[in-house]
């Protein structure tokens, strides 16, 4: 089969690799019909996530058709159309049983590696470095799906892929990040980043009852998309002082919750921005935290900072004083996708939610290099590109 | 000796507050042999003298090294050896449950498994299950109610074998064993205790064995993550996965763009 392989920082390549096979009784093989290029794939592409190996198949947000099942799989059959959560969860451990799916004890074959770095290991994730299990990713014609009895959700044939694909990650991640804000009537939620995740954070915050949602980015086309599809007000951080503007929009109170949907490669202006860029380039810090710094600064006293943006290692100048001084709550972590699949699918089926709007490009696997470069530099107003590996 | 103490204090090395007399010649943690101790005192003194001559970072470093060398000569204890868990001192301790303490490596590891103690116990007590999660084992065959024969994969020699006997057993709580004869002297126990709040079973393994590759080999193995600590930890993790998820997570044999891996 064909698959997009990570070769080196800023180098991906389409390779012909062996087809995946069933390795465990609870595995299934899925023929990938749609695989998104997620903003977090850019952290791999740019070489900021440790433990990538040349030849690793990348991609984690996907859906497709079941073509083979292991002997323990009874809930799926060949031909089923499924969306697959990007986190791999066993469904049986303490964490899965308490619906903290992304913290699964049993799905990371390289748990020891992650324990060395973080103390304890979280779930494995498709195509997202060996630290997260080293699983082959989904930007390929076929993908092996472990624990297929508790991960994939069957979806209706008649609904097109584009409306369903983001159940795999972005939509659930936006929903999860907004839920972490514990939104109450009258609340203002500010969202840093208007990529796929940020857009779904804004939409979710609105659907969860926020009075006002404000989206911050610097790309006009993304801000337009936020205004049009998520009911949000927008701020262009290349034009305004974000903390001042947020103060003005909230009667001087500050946002009740701030969401960092940017993650480890934030672009900052001024001295702190340069500081982070230099340190990250020299590998003195792995994570540029401009967005989260600003979110902490802007957040009202006693408010919540929710972080769906991906971080991997260490950062400098983390404003722990402001965090403490304002009594903020920080909520973080990979999304417990399996929690949200059914309710969000129901909203899509009922027509209450159409999460296809961020998709600006459909690509073939062979266009991998072009797609990654375009997405990275936001060329051609690209917000979300989706690979269709089998068409 | 005074020089050693003074310099050590000045450099912030060591933290002993005991009188020096209590450090000399006694204690059970002596890990440096006699000849090496004498050489250490001489070499250490030279290093301190040399270090005192130059007032620089390297001078300070030499003084530090010298001080430690003297310390180790005088007391017979080396922090470096302690760190590396090796000893050049003659073995004075005797047999302890089939293992000579001075030659052995000890590992203690715990993990919580989301299952009842009786289930985890009975899975383990059926020794023929052990190779399912202890991947270095080839087979365990039960030869009598309390005895079993173990075959393990080993570096260089390919295969090691031994017989073991259960020396203590409390149903659903404890299994303790000791080797009787064979290539690898070992002894250990595994405890099964209910975790608080109904969170399953805390499994605690205590294992002591004489590595056929010697203690230095164990240090080398650490670099390859094939040391006993990592091995026991990974064995326990596989046991947890088998009992909880019914399979062990793996990527062995999956597709990749690499030509040479599985």
For the stretch B87-143, pLDDT in tens is 655 444 444 456 787 778 899 999 999 999 999 999 999 999 999 999 889 999 999
Query: Which pLDDT does position B100 carry in this prediction?
Result: 80
In this prediction, residues A210-214 reach a mean pLDDT of: 98
Which of the residues B201, B254, B260 would you substitute to probe the A interface, choosing the one with the greatest number of A C-beta atoms within 10 Å? B254
Query: Which pLDDT does position A163 carry in this prediction?
Result: 98
Under the phi-then-psi rule, with left for phi > 0, alpha for psi from -120 to 50, and beta for the rest, what region is B214?
A: left
Q: Which residues of B touch A121 (CB under 8 A)?
A: none
Q: Which of A221, A168, A185 is nearest to A59 (CA)?
A: A168
Tokens matching residue A88: 């791999």
Residue ranges of alpha helices (H) inside A180-260 are 196-207, 220-230, 242-249
Class of residue B243 by CB neighbours under 10 A (exposed 0-12, middle 13-18, buried 19+): buried
Q: Quick check: B67 pLDDT over 80?
A: no
CB B255 within 8 A of CB A1: yes
Nearest CA in chain A to B257: A55
Nearest CA in chain B to A2: B257
| Tens of pLDDT, residues A342-365 | 999 999 999 999 999 999 999 999
Measure the CA–CA gap between A251 and A266, rounded to whole angstroms.
27
User: B182: distance to nearest CA of chain A, Å?
Assistant: 31
Measure the CA–CA gap between A106 and A88, rounded to whole angstroms.
9
Answer whether B249 sits within 8 Å of A92, measured CB to CB. Answer: no
Measure the CA–CA gap between A152 and A300, rounded to whole angstroms.
39
In this prediction, residues A290-299 reach a mean pLDDT of: 95
Answer whether A93 sits within 8 Å of B245, measured CB to CB. Answer: yes
CB B44 within 8 A of CB B51: no
Give helix B228-245 / helix B214-223 axis angle, nearest 10°: 60
User: B262: distance to nearest CA of chain A, Å?
Assistant: 10
Nearest CA in chain B to A108: B249
In this prediction, residues B216-243 reach a mean pLDDT of: 82
In this prediction, residues A189-217 reach a mean pLDDT of: 97
In this prediction, residues A207-212 reach a mean pLDDT of: 98
CB A201 within 8 A of CB A178: yes
Pick the residue with more confidence: B195 or B60? B195
Query: Which pLDDT does position B185 carry in this prediction?
Result: 87
Whether residue B88 lies within 8 A of chain A, CB to CB, comes out as no
Give the 3-state secondary structure of residue B7: helix
Going by pLDDT thresholds of 50, 70 and 90, the confidence category of residue A289 is: confident
Q: Lowest-confidence range among A52-56, A317-321, B91-95?
A: B91-95
In chain B, pLDDT over 70 holds for what percent of residues?
A: 56
What are the backbone dihedrals phi and psi of residue A190, each rounded to the nearest 5 degrees, phi first? -105, 135
CB A83 within 8 A of CB A165: yes
Class of residue B58 by CB neighbours under 10 A (exposed 0-12, middle 13-18, buried 19+): exposed
Query: Which pLDDT does position B262 carry in this prediction?
Result: 43
Residue ranges of alpha helices (H) inside chain B are 2-11, 34-53, 57-75, 79-84, 117-125, 130-133, 214-223, 228-245
In this prediction, residues A118-124 reach a mean pLDDT of: 95
| Tens of pLDDT, residues B15-59 | 433 333 333 333 445 566 655 655 665 666 666 666 666 556 666
**A interface residues, B as partner, C-beta within 8 Å:** 1, 3, 5, 7, 13, 15, 17-21, 23-26, 53-57, 72, 88, 90-94, 97, 105-109, 111-112, 124, 133-136, 140, 144, 146-147
Answer whether B249 sits within 8 Å of A146, measured CB to CB. Answer: yes
In this prediction, residues A240-267 reach a mean pLDDT of: 94
Answer whether A26 sits within 8 Å of B261, measured CB to CB. Answer: no
Query: Which pLDDT does position B71 carry in this prediction?
Result: 62
Going by pLDDT thresholds of 50, 70 and 90, the confidence category of residue A248 is: very high
Which long-range contacts does A271-274 make (Cβ < 8 Å, 24+ apart)? A272/A317
Query: Which pLDDT does position A29 carry in this prediction?
Result: 98
Query: Which pLDDT does position B225 carry in this prediction?
Result: 63
Measure the CA–CA gap between A248 and A193, rounded to whole angstroms.
20
Query: Which pLDDT does position B11 carry in this prediction?
Result: 46
Q: Quick check: B236 pLDDT over 50?
A: yes
Q: Quick check: A71 pLDDT over 50?
A: yes
Pick the residue with more confidence: A313 or B234? B234
Rg (CA), chain B: 24
Residue B205, CB half-sphere, CA atoms under 13 Å: how many?
25
Query: Which pLDDT does position A143 carry in this prediction?
Result: 98
Q: Quick check: A159 pLDDT over 50?
A: yes
Q: Quick check: A198 pLDDT over 90?
A: yes
In this prediction, residues A333-340 reach a mean pLDDT of: 97
Whether residue B247 lies within 8 A of chain A, CB to CB, comes out as yes
Query: Which pLDDT does position B104 carry in this prediction?
Result: 82
Query: Which pLDDT does position B241 carry in this prediction?
Result: 98
Measure the CA–CA gap between B207 and B185, rounded to whole angstroms.
11
Query: Which pLDDT does position A266 carry in this prediction?
Result: 75
| Tens of pLDDT, residues A76-120 | 999 999 999 999 999 999 999 999 999 999 999 999 999 988 999
Going by pLDDT thresholds of 50, 70 and 90, the confidence category of residue A283 is: low
In chain B, pLDDT over 90 holds for what percent of residues?
A: 42
Residues 6+ apart with CB under 8 A from A4: A12, A13, A14, A15, A57, A58, A59, A137, A139, A140, A365, A368, A387
Measure the CA–CA gap between B163 and B186, rounded to whole angstroms.
10
Sign of the Cα torsion A161, A164, A166, A168 reads negative
User: A262: distance to nearest CA of chain B, Å?
Assistant: 29
What mean pLDDT, rounded, does chain A reach?
A: 95
Tokens matching residue A368: 């991998």
Q: Which residues of A touch B244 (CB under 8 A)?
A: 90, 92-93, 105-106
Measure the CA–CA gap between B241 and B248, rounded to whole angstroms.
5
Query: Which pLDDT does position B223 carry in this prediction?
Result: 63
> Between A21, A54, A106, which is nearest B249 by CB?
A106
In this prediction, residues A29-36 reach a mean pLDDT of: 98
Q: Quick check: B201 pLDDT over 70?
A: yes
Going by pLDDT thresholds of 50, 70 and 90, the confidence category of residue B220 is: low
Pick the residue with more confidence: B68 or A217? A217
In this prediction, residues B140-162 reach a mean pLDDT of: 88
Which of the residues A25, A105, A136 would you substitute to probe the B interface, choosing the one with the greatest number of B C-beta atoms within 10 Å? A105
Query: Which pLDDT does position B247 carry in this prediction?
Result: 97
Whether residue B51 lies within 8 A of chain A, CB to CB, comes out as no
Going by pLDDT thresholds of 50, 70 and 90, the confidence category of residue A315 is: confident
Q: Which residues of B touch A389 (CB under 8 A)?
A: none
Answer whether A90 sits within 8 Å of B245, measured CB to CB. Answer: yes
Length of chain B: 262
C-alpha distances (whole Å) from B159 to each of A227, A334, B138 are 68, 44, 9
Rg (CA), chain A: 20
In chain A, pLDDT over 90 holds for what percent of residues?
A: 88
Pick the residue with more confidence: A202 or B37? A202
> Between A20, A97, A111, which is nearest B237 by CB?
A111
In this prediction, residues A249-253 reach a mean pLDDT of: 97
Query: Which pLDDT does position B46 carry in this prediction?
Result: 66
Q: Quick check: A189 pLDDT over 80?
A: yes
Max CA pair span of chain A: 60
Question: To which residue do tokens 């991960």 refer?
Answer: A151
Which of the residues A3, A30, A93, A143 would you substitute to probe the B interface, choosing the one with the greatest number of B C-beta atoms within 10 Å? A93
In this prediction, residues B136-157 reach a mean pLDDT of: 89
Nearest CA in chain A to B258: A55
Query: Which pLDDT does position B75 carry in this prediction?
Result: 57
């Amino acid at each position: 089969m064909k698959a997009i392989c990570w070769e080196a920082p800023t180098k991906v390549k389409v390779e012909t690799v062996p087809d995946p096979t069933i390795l465990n009784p609870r595995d299934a093989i899925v023929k990938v019909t749609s695989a998104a290029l997620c903003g977090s794939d850019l952290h791999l592409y740019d070489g900021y996530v440790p433990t990538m190996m040349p030849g690793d198949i990348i991609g984690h947000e996907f859906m497709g058709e079941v073509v083979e099942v292991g002997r323990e799989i009874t809930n799926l059959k060949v031909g089923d159309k499924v969306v697959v959560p990007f986190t791999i969860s066993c469904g049986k451990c303490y964490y899965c049983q308490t619906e903290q799916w992304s913290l699964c004890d049993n799905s990371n074959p390289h748990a020891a590696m992650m324990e060395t770095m973080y103390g304890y290991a979280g779930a494995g994730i498709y195509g997202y470095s060996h630290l997260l299990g080293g699983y082959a990713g989904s930007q390929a014609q076929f993908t092996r799906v472990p624990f297929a009895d508790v991960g994939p959700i069957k979806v209706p044939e008649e609904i097109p892929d584009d409306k369903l694909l983001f159940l795999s990650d972005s939509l659930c991640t936006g929903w999860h990040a907004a839920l972490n804000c514990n939104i109450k009537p009258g609340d203002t939620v500010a969202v840093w980043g208007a990529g796929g995740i940020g857009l779904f954070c804004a939409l979710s915050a609105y659907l969860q009852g926020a009075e006002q949602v404000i989206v911050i980015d610097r790309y006009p086309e993304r801000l337009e998309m936020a205004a049009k599809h998520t009911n949000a007000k927008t701020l262009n951080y290349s034009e305004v002082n974000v903390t001042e503007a947020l103060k003005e929009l909230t009667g001087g109170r500050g946002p009740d919750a701030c969401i960092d949907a940017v993650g480890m490669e934030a672009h900052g202006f001024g001295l702190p921005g340069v500081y982070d860029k230099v340190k990250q380039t020299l590998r003195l810090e792995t994570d540029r935290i401009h967005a989260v710094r600003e979110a902490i600064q802007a957040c009202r006293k006693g408010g919540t900072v929710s972080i769906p943006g991906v971080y991997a290692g260490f950062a400098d100048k983390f404003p722990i004083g402001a965090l403490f001084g304002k009594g903020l709550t920080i909520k973080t972590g990979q999304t417990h996708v399996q929690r949200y699949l059914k309710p969000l699918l129901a909203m899509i089926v009922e027509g209450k939610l159409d999460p296809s709007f961020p998709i600006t490009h459909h690509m073939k696997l062979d266009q991998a290099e072009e797609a990654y470069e375009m997405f990275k530099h936001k060329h051609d107003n690209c917000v979300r590109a989706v690979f269709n590996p089998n068409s | 000796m005074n020089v050693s103490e003074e310099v050590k204090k000045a450099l912030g090395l060591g933290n002993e507050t005991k009188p020096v007399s209590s450090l000399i010649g006694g204690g059970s943690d002596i890990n440096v042999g006699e000849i090496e101790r004498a050489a250490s005192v001489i070499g250490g003194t030279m290093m301190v003298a040399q270090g005192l001559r130059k007032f620089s970072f390297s001078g300070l470093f030499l003084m530090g090294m010298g001080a430690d060398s003297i310390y180790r000569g005088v007391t017979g204890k080396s922090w470096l050896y302690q760190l590396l868990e090796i000893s050049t001192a003659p073995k004075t301790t005797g047999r302890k449950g089939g293992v000579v303490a001075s030659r052995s490596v000890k590992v203690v590891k715990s993990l919580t498994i989301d299952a009842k103690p009786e289930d985890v116990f009975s899975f383990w007590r059926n020794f023929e299950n052990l190779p399912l999660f202890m991947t270095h084992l080839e087979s365990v065959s039960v030869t009598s109610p309390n005895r079993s024969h173990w075959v393990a994969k080993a570096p260089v020699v390919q295969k090691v074998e031994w017989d073991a006997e259960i020396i203590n057993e409390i149903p659903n709580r404890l299994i303790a064993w000791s080797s009787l004869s064979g290539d690898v002297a070992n002894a250990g126990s595994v405890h099964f205790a209910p975790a608080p709040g109904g969170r399953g079973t805390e499994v605690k393994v205590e294992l002591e064995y004489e590595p056929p590759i010697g203690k230095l080999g164990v240090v080398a193995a650490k670099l390859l993550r094939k040391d006993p600590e990592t091995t026991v930890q990974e064995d326990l993790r596989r046991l947890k996965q088998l009992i909880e998820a019914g399979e062990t997570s793996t990527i062995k044999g999956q597709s990749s763009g690499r030509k040479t891996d599985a």
